[in-house]
Amino acid sequence: MKKLNPVLLGAAMLALSTLSAPAASPIKVMILDGESGGAYHKWQLITPVLKKELEETGLFTVDVATAPKAGEDFSNFKPDFSKYQVVVSNYDAANWPDDLKASFEQYMKNGGGLVSVHAADNSFGQWTEYNKMIGIGGWRGREEKSGALWYFKDGKLVSDDTPGRAGKHGRRIPYQLTTRDANHPIMKGLPSQWMHQGDELYNSLRGPGEHMTVLATAFSDPANAGSGHDEPMLLVTSYGKGRVFHTAMGHDVNALACVGFIVTLQRGAEWAATGKVTQKVPASFPNANTVSYRTDIAAMDPLYKNGLNGLDSQPGAGGRGPGRPGAPPVPPPPAK
Ligand code: ZN
């Protein structure tokens, strides 16, 4: 074997170190909040959780933009979306002024990123372009004119024009996710099935479903006010040059404590911002039978002192940890 020339070797090493030198500057994230459909969605509690979950990766710096409440003056709310690589929406409002809508549409068309968390897909029922971005949504007046129902049947995504209102869910109980696109960067390395901590399982969402890829579904059990379909829980769309990651999970801090939620949020936000995912899947990721959650996150809800799984699960409905297995069943809430 030829001896390596130390000068050349040094030069090569310098070149390598130069290549890896620009320690990727952090991804700039805007969390959007300020409104929800009702007191059951505590956006003020959710935003600090989303912020912590993103920042702890070391990949993101996070600013929060809080919109005025419904009916308040929006004339001074003009966030500069273009300063951010991704907007994470913890926001559910009926409508926006036209200039604000146009500004966000332009940001997305130019290659912006959007992450829609849980009831962010309730927002803006009548805003056509927003509904193209999120692919599907529920409530806020959505019905058959908003688009088809979308779900998995016989291993394929199907659309269904059956009329009816969009958006339903049953009691919050743990449920199993099934991967539908294992090769997508967000999903690579995740188990093909895994348990999500107690949460609402949205069903009967409707929308245009354009440029949409469903990454994971969950079975919506008719025994728990479900549709009987494998409903989209994680999906991506493209909008112009922009990328959207949509997670239907995340009703409350309990749900946001699920390691599966956290990891898919972190990976989905990176992908929406850059088109790539550089993060490893942690060993604590849930498996097909057992939920896995973070008590430090769960404790960001002041009610955590009463137990993680208070929820509205029935006795023995599952879940792990300091739950209240003896808690009586509660009828489905009117909440979204
Ligand atoms: Zn909810």
CA of 28 to the centre of ligand 1 (A): 27
Taking the centre of ligand 1 as the mean of its atom positions, its distance from the CA of residue 3, in whole angstroms, is 65
Q: pLDDT (tens digit, 9 = 90+) per residue, 132-150?
A: 999 999 999 999 999 999 9
Region 151-156 average pLDDT: 96
Cβ-count burial 90-118 (b if 16+ within 10 Å, e if not): bbbbbebeeebbebbbebbeeebbbbbbb
**What's the 12 CA to ligand 1 centre distance in angstroms?**
54
Query: What domains can you pick out in the chain, each with its CATH number?
Result: 25-306 (3.40.50.880)
Distance 8 CA to ligand 1 centre (A): 60
Q: How far is the CA of 44 from the centre of ligand 1 (A)?
A: 14
Nearest by Cα to 181 from 216, 146, 210? 216
**What is the distance in A from the centroid of ligand 1 to the CA of 26?**
30
Count the alpha carbons within 13 Å of 316 in the hemisphere toward its beta carbon: 0
Contact partners, residue 17, CB within 8 Å, separation at least 6: none
Cα–ligand 1 centroid distance for 121 (angstroms): 10
Ligand 1 centre to CA of 196 (Å) is 15
Residue type, 54: L
User: Tens digit of pLDDT for each residue in 275-324?
Assistant: 999 999 999 999 999 999 999 999 999 988 877 655 554 433 333 333 33
What pLDDT score does 196 carry? 97
Output the pTM of the full model: 0.87
